[in-house]
């Protein structure tokens, strides 16, 4: 617990809860929104949380904007640059942005003869030299040397060659800057996520195909700038693959803790001045320093996380089977038809809300919401009554209120069997706490010590009381599967997880003109929207539009209103 407490000082609780929910629910991917200046910092925080707390290896990649006159990479090059790190020197390309080496005639920054010579002998030196503290993603700051620069925080996986073993892919892919990629590249990434498989045409045989299955439990975390009224600026087919979103605002203490844990190691590893992001890219190091730097950067190829994080936290805070146990508990969750109707009503109300554009609330969104609600039920520790219910024959044991004298007699008899069970309700809580503790979830101590109304079994005989206890124990055993209780989803779980399932798929309309009914009744096609006043000096449609609509609310404000009404 002390180790976990130390880890929590350098993470965000909202991000931690969202990552845990996405890891428990099967085949769900997470979209993290944060202020634009914190995108790189949050990307590093995601990798640190996955590796140091959950022991979940992650590969991190960033897509940089393409120069105006730069070449457009193919979708194959784009996908390779996301899932694999830089190929070896013997590969056909020297950098992850393979479009530069594949066509040397294309325009790029001219290099001196000395630079070209050094690059041939030391193809990996330039990228580590530009791995600076000011760039939390650890990527090059030169836009012409890598538009799709990547850095692996788990394994140095090189691009697969024919007649070689398949690469070992990381189970988590942390992305940023996807909005800078072309639409074709974004659609290609969406296909990979949907198929859960990488496919490339063979270089030697046009009819052959190279393909690799993505690891079990594979998850994509995309970090993008936040806009409280708009969707993320990516293709709708790719947006549909992200089941949940969360807004992360880094607190000052977390920011300071992350920077303090990163800064010394970066200074030592890269021999750079952290106050100048471009110093290292222009000042060459001595040959001995280059060689040692090259060995150090690529020596830890099999590490599950970079030394930046492992130096500070060498031991994961949670056991390796923690996530797998929660996934087993997920299989034992249940949503009643009544609550499914409630979830459907929330989707219907959101889709038809006048202020919102809900066209992206697809069938996949509904399916993802159901999975995330069940996952939220597993990781939530709220006692709401449903976990106290068990299937059983109510005629065999019925709890009734008895007078004080009868209760005292029964309590004396029960003390011989179990001194801790004061009544049946408290007995249920004790059993439930034991069941949850079997897969890593514990209830607060106050729940077991809370006094409940005194109840007892409707019987005056000691034998009847013992029989009822046996029935309770038998019922518990029948409702357990591999030591995991049956968990029923409640309305609280749906209300808490629903906004995170739909908020990134919604946008707030600009005004009544975008609404179907209002546009046809109030704003005709003959209005002149370019000029605010016509020739006669009367108000036009634009002025009416601006005066009849208040300031645009945020998506969060509208969802809060929907939850209060449904």
Position 550 scores a pLDDT of: 62
For range 516-537, the mean pLDDT:
52
Considering only CA atoms, which of 348, 354, 350, 353 is closest in space to residue 512?
354
Q: In terms of pTM, does the model score above 0.75?
A: no
Q: What is the mean pLDDT of the chain?
A: 66
Residue 115 belongs to a domain: no
Same domain for 490 and 414: no
Query: Based on the structure, what is the number of domains in the chain?
Result: 3
Of 253, 284, 310, which residue constitutes the final position of a domain? 310
Residues 326 and 288 both lie in one domain: no
The fraction of the chain above a pLDDT of 90, given in percent, is 31
Residue written as token pair 């109840």 = 455
pLDDT at 3: 55
Domain match, 195 and 257 both:
yes
State yes or no: pLDDT of 462 exceeds 80. no
pLDDT above 80 (res 169) = yes
Range of the domain at 340: 321-390+486-511+549-566
For residues 430 and 499, membership in a common domain is answered with no
* 94-98, 329-333, 383-387, 422-426: the lowest-pLDDT one: 94-98
What pLDDT is stored for residue 262 in this prediction? 61
Phi and psi torsions of 314, nearest 5°: -85, -20
Residues 328 and 225 in one domain: no
Domain match, 275 and 418 both: no
Long-range interactions of 430-433: CB distance < 8 A, separation 24+ = 431/476, 432/387, 432/388, 432/485
**C-beta separation of 30 from 49 below 8 A:** no
For the purposes of burial, counting CB atoms within 10 Å of the CB of 111, is it exposed (0-12), middle (13-18) or buried (19 or more)? exposed
Last residue within a domain, chosen from 279, 310, 341: 310
Q: What are the residues whose beta carbons fall under 8 Å from the beta carbon of 125, sequence distance 6 or more?
A: 118, 290, 293, 294
d(CA 158, CA 168): 9
Q: End of a domain among 262, 280, 310?
A: 310
């Amino acid at each position: 617990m002390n180790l976990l407490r130390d880890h929590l000082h350098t993470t965000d609780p909202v991000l931690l809860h969202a990552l845990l929910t996405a890891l428990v629910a099967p085949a769900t991917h997470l979209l993290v929104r944060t202020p634009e200046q914190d995108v790189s910092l949050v990307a590093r925080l995601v990798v640190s949380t996955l590796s140091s707390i959950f022991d979940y290896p992650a590969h991190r990649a960033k897509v940089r904007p393409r120069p105006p006159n730069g070449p457009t990479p193919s979708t194959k090059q784009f996908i390779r640059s996301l899932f694999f790190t830089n190929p070896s020197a013997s590969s056909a390309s020297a950098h992850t942005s393979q479009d530069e080496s594949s066509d040397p005639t294309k325009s790029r920054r001219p290099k001196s003869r000395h630079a070209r010579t050094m690059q041939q002998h030391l193809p990996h030196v330039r990228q580590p030299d530009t791995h600076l503290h000011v760039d939390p993603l650890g990527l090059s700051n030169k836009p012409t040397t890598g538009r799709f620069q990547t850095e692996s925080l788990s394994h140095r996986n090189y691009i697969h060659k024919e007649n070689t073993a398949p690469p070992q892919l990381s189970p988590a892919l942390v992305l940023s800057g996807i909005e800078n990629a072309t639409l074709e590249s974004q659609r290609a990434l969406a296909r990979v996520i949907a198929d859960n498989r990488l496919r490339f045409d063979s270089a030697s045989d046009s009819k052959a195909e190279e393909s690799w299955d993505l690891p079990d439990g594979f998850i994509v975390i995309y970090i993008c700038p936040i806009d409280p009224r708009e969707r993320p600026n990516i293709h709708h087919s790719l947006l549909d693959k992200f089941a949940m979103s969360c807004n992360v605002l880094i607190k000052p203490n977390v920011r300071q803790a992350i920077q303090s844990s990163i800064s010394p190691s970066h200074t030592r590893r890269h021999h750079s001045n952290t106050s100048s992001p471009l110093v290292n890219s222009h000042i060459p190091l001595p040959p001995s320093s280059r060689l040692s730097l090259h060995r150090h950067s690529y020596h830890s190829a099999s590490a599950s996380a970079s030394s930046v994080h492992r130096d500070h936290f060498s031991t994961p805070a949670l056991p390796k089977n923690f996530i797998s146990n929660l996934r087993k508990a997920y299989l034992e969750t249940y949503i009643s038809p009544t609550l499914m109707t409630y979830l459907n009503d929330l989707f219907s109300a959101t889709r038809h809300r006048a202020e919102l554009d809900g066209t992206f609330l697809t069938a996949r969104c509904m399916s993802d919401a159901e999975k995330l609600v069940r996952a939220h039920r597993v990781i939530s520790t709220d006692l709401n009554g449903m976990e106290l219910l068990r299937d059983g024959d109510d005629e065999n044991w019925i709890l009734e209120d008895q007078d004080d004298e009868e209760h005292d007699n029964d309590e004396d008899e029960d003390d011989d069997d179990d001194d801790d069970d004061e009544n049946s309700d408290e007995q249920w809580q004790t059993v439930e706490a034991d069941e949850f503790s079997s897969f890593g979830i514990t209830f607060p101590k106050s729940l077991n010590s809370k006094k409940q109304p005194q109840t007892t079994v409707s019987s005056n005989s000691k034998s009847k009381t013992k029989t009822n206890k046996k029935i309770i124990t038998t019922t518990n055993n029948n409702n357990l599967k591999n030591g995991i209780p049956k968990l029923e989803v409640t309305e609280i779980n749906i209300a808490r997880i629903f906004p995170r399932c739909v908020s990134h798929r919604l946008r707030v309309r600009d005004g009544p003109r975008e609404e179907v009914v209002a546009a046809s009744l109030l704003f005709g096609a003959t209005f002149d929207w370019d000029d605010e006043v016509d020739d006669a000096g009367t108000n036009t449609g634009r002025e009416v539009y601006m005066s009849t609509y208040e300031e645009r609310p945020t998506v969060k404000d509208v969802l809060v209103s929907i939850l209060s009404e449904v």
